[in-house]
Amino acid sequence: MKRELKVPYDDDDAKALLRQKGFNPDDVREVVDDVEYEGEFFPMEWFSYEGNLMMCQWLHANGAAEDISRADEAHGRTPMSEACGGGHLS
């Protein structure tokens, strides 16, 4: 709901969303294996793909700023390329 209303995430909201997506809320840079999508993702990459700018902003402000240009190990995709692939940049 906050995303639709463009209300910034507070820490509790962001950490709950990280848990919901299978990420470790105490390590915003950790790579996790996503069985549903058959791959490994780090939070900035995943939320860029989903087009969740507010979550990306929260991640950036809370320890994942370096992940903006980080490429995943499997395919070399960056969060920006994931956002493009998800149709969120034109």
Q: 27: how many CB neighbours lie within 10 A of its CB?
A: 14
Per DSSP, the three-state class of 33 is strand
- pTM value is 0.86
Query: What distance in Å separates the CA atoms of residue 41 and residue 85, rounded to the nearest whole number?
Result: 15
The pLDDT tens digits for 16-70 are 999 999 999 999 999 998 756 668 899 999 999 999 999 999 999 999 999 999 9
